A and B are shown apart, each in its own frame.
Chain A
Amino acid sequence: MKTSKSEVSVQANAREARVKADRPAETKANNIFQLDGEDVPFTPGQTIMQAATANGTYIPHLCWHPDFSAHGSCKLCTVKVNGHFGSSCTIEAQPGMEVENRTMELDDKRRTLLQMLFVEGNHFCPSCEKSGNCTLQATAYELNMMSPHFDMFYPDRPVDASHPDILLDFNRCIMCALCVAASRDVDGKNIFAMGGRGLLGRRVHISSESGKLADTDFAATDRAASICPVGVILPKRKGFAIPIGQRTYDLAPISRQVKKATP
């Protein structure tokens, strides 16, 4: 199932509008909210996450990406807006809002969410080539996650190595659905889809009769091939080519790379 060219064009326009909305130069003097006591300017229509990111302020997140519409599923970006919990990636910024972000209460909850993600999949950082470039790992370091805390699920998630250029290792999938959005909105291919029910049943499906990536028109140059924040969609035969010390999060923690940390 493919998206038509006209749909792609509409989606591209929507993205352009969002990028335009990121520009603080258009901010009016009274379009300011408070984030952990700091003034953050915004333009009308921006979410709290968009305004904070444009301001260089880190709000922990996994499923949000500046190039795509908010999915609101990982809940890691939950903040307190005037005392109420909400997802910063979906709540529009309003003048005078008081937003709590990096408080102990919120980071504790975020750490628990991360721990659940780690035990639900099979995340073996020591032998994962995404280590050092992984948003999940970097976020866990940022939030001082020292152990998985919960019992591991060890789900059975087979690797799909059928494609000549791309490896899919679903052991590491966190269901952020960014590959779904990228393949649909940018590549116009709709190769990935979320499906199934329940904690162990829900997963990313491949849109081919065999269920294998090799039987789609997926290409290594697709946007979806480089969007994965964890180590699921990987270029083959690259592995550990980047030495330790030069990987994204060797250089600085994720909270200090707000504007460049998205793959």
Chain B
Amino acid sequence: MSFELETAIAPEKLHRVAIDPISRVEGHGKVTILLDDDNHVQQVRLHIVEFRGFEKFIQGRPYWEVPVMVQRLCGICPVSHHLAASKALDMMLGVKQLTPTAEKIRRLMHYGQILQSHALHFFHLASPDLLFGFGSDVAARNIAGIIATHPAIAKKGVLLRKFGQEVIRMTAGKRVHGTGSIPGGVNKSLAPDERAELLKDIYQMVAWSRDAVGMIRQLFEQNLAEYNEFGRFRSAAMCLVRADGAMDLYHGGLRARGIEGKTLFDHFDYARYWDVIGEDVKSWSYMKFPFFKSLGPDDGSYRVGPLTRVTQCDSIPTPLAEKAREEFMAFDGGRVAGATLGYHWARMIEMLHAAETIKDLLHDDDIIGNDLMATGQRQQRGVGVIEAPRGTLIHHYRIDENDLVIRANLIVSTTHNNQAMNTAVREVAKKYLNGREITEGLLNHIEIAIRAFDPCLSCATHALGQMPLEVAIVGADGTAIDAATRDQHGLIHEIRETP
């Protein structure tokens, strides 16, 4: 069975519009839209065109190399892969509890990553759509336009990200692709001067993160009807929560709720994630479609990421972020909690939580301790799960008696959101494209729905809204009906009339 608008009945008679590549997201993907003669949408698909292959080529490598190698999946959130792999290998080594210093250094690294990634997404990638308007002048709809017209906002975005990167550098050794987390612990703690340097700026980061929450709230207030309804759909949800139900982005048990809010499983031990999550395959995408086994592949898709985490946790364990969460959940009678663009708001609440958590950790003397490694009884298998900036990230490895990896399975955040993103773009296509002439501004609505999820379509590559784009509408007989090209500066150059 396929979902509404996933597969048209007679695609050969339809016009095809492609958004390829999708811009201002990490990685490469494309959207294809099939329209009938009256420009009514018949089929919409988000295709992920990258092929990852890490699960295969990690086989035969020594396990201690894995946390450093797999983080090369991504240049934006490598720390997530670094830590998820480390957690899996902690389990493989039988380490049930890290030393206090190791756990807090890893948490510091992770929340630094949440801070920098969320700042990057909101300020650099998403804010041009939100501040200038969805169909605004494409030439200015980018970070350069934000710098020109809203320099104070742009500066905060750049410096928040820089701070997060510094936290990562001091804990992992490098801003991108460090080596700090190793199976069983960490290879360094913070030096007192590093701690002092971060403490100097952290209060400003908390304040700016709070401002960012205020900014997205204001945008919702100004555009309530459009933001609430844009790409809106109902979905099941999954995230990690702490033992007391509070938000914890580093460790916890799995919580899942269905469309009606019914709990499907709670505090589930992720070491046996395959008991509750299956992975479906579709012929038109390289990305798998995970689903809850209890609901089956047709009804079991779900959302992960900031919106899920903020709405499904019982509380956030830092005061400012918790207050922001309560306001978010109460806003407009709670309707924003189900809006696709609510992801942006939830993401800023998490950024505030990350800043507050970093502040608390910096005041904890364990982060300058020297007890870095723990040991345990060796196992053959390990599973590590973490809440990455984009959602739940699962790493699963089996190791042979010679210390080599013999099997690996990675379910990355964006993969969980695959069906949800497809649903969101179909909702937007139905509402905004149906029966209308295709323009760059209308196509941007599709991209805005995708960007809300902050997808990492492949890893280590990302486009910043300046990638060339060609859109063509081809008639059922193969003749070109309409075509437009967008150059590397974001300008539309050529529109051909119907021959």
Task: Give the interface of A toward B (CB within 8 A).
Answer: 126-129, 158-159, 161-162, 167, 169, 236-245
Contact = CB atoms under 8 A, between A and B. Distances in A.
Contacts of B65: 127-129, 239
A239 B173 contact: no
- Quick one: which of B61, B62, B178 has the most chain A CB within 10 A? B62
A127 B72 contact: yes
Given A159-B60, A239-B182, A127 B68 contact: yes
Most buried by B among A236, A238, A241, A245: A241
B173 A244 contact: yes
27 contacts: A126-B68, A126-B69, A126-B72, A127-B68, A128-B65, A158-B60, A159-B61, A161-B403, A236-B62, A237-B64, A238-B64, A239-B62, A239-B64, A239-B65, A239-B68, A239-B182, A239-B183, A240-B64, A240-B67, A240-B68, A240-B182, A240-B187, A242-B187, A243-B179, A243-B188, A244-B172, A244-B174
Given A239-B182, A240-B182, A243-B188, A127 B69 contact: yes
Closest 9 CB pairs of A and B: A244-B173, A239-B64, A127-B69, A161-B402, A243-B188, A240-B179, A243-B187, A161-B404, A127-B68
B62 A167 contact: yes
A262 B246 CA distance: 53
A126 B173 CA distance: 13
A126 B64 contact: no
Given A129-B65, A236-B62, A239-B62, A244 B403 contact: no
Given A129-B68, A159-B60, 9 more contacts: A126-B69, A240-B64, A240-B67, A241-B182, A243-B173, A243-B179, A243-B180, A244-B172, A244-B174
Q: By CB atoms of chain B within 10 A, which of A159, A238, A244 has the most? A: A244
Interface of B: 60-62, 64-65, 67-69, 72, 172-174, 177-180, 182-183, 187-188, 402-404
Nearest to B67: A240
A262 B255 CA distance: 54
A15 B397 CA distance: 47
Contacts of A162: 402
A177 B280 CA distance: 51
Among A128, A159, A239, A242, find the residue whose CB has the most chain B CB atoms closer than 10 A.
Answer: A239
Contacts of B180: 243-244
A236 B403 contact: yes
Contact of B64 (A129, A159, A244, A245): A129
A24 to B, nearest CB: 39
B404 A159 contact: yes
A241 B184 CA distance: 11
Contact of A245 (B68, B72, B173, B402): B173
Contact of B62 (A161, A241, A244): A161
Contact of A126 (B62, B177, B183, B404): B177
Nearest to B402: A161
A161 B59 CA distance: 13
A115 to B, nearest CB: 23
A161 B174 CA distance: 29
Nearest to B178: A244
Given A159-B60, A167-B62, A241 B403 contact: no
Contacts of B62: 159, 161, 167, 169, 236, 239
Nearest to B172: A244
A167 B403 contact: yes
A241 B187 CA distance: 5
A158 B187 CA distance: 29
A256 to B, nearest CB: 21
Contacts of A240: 64, 67-68, 179, 182, 187
Contacts of B67: 240
A155 to B, nearest CB: 15
Contacts of B188: 243
A127 B81 CA distance: 13
A161 B402 CA distance: 6
Q: Of B61, B72, B179, B183, which is in contact with the most chain A CB atoms at under 10 Å from its CB?
A: B179
A72 B253 CA distance: 60
A126 B182 CA distance: 15
Contacts of B173: 243-245
Contacts of A243: 173, 179-180, 187-188
Nearest to A167: B62
A169 B64 CA distance: 14
A210 B64 CA distance: 26
Nearest to B373: A241
A131 to B, nearest CB: 9
Contacts of B174: 244
A129 B61 CA distance: 12
B349 to A, nearest CB: 33
Contacts of B404: 159, 161
B238 to A, nearest CB: 30
A236 B399 CA distance: 14
Contacts of A158: 60
Central interface residue in A127, A129, A159, A162, by most chain B CB within 10 Å: A127
A167 B405 CA distance: 13
Contacts of A242: 187
* Residue of A128, A242, A243 most packed against chain B (CB within 10 A): A243
B127 to A, nearest CB: 32
A162 B187 CA distance: 26
Contacts of B172: 244
Contacts of A245: 173
Nearest to B186: A243
Contacts of B403: 161, 167, 236-237
B54 to A, nearest CB: 11
B402 A244 contact: no
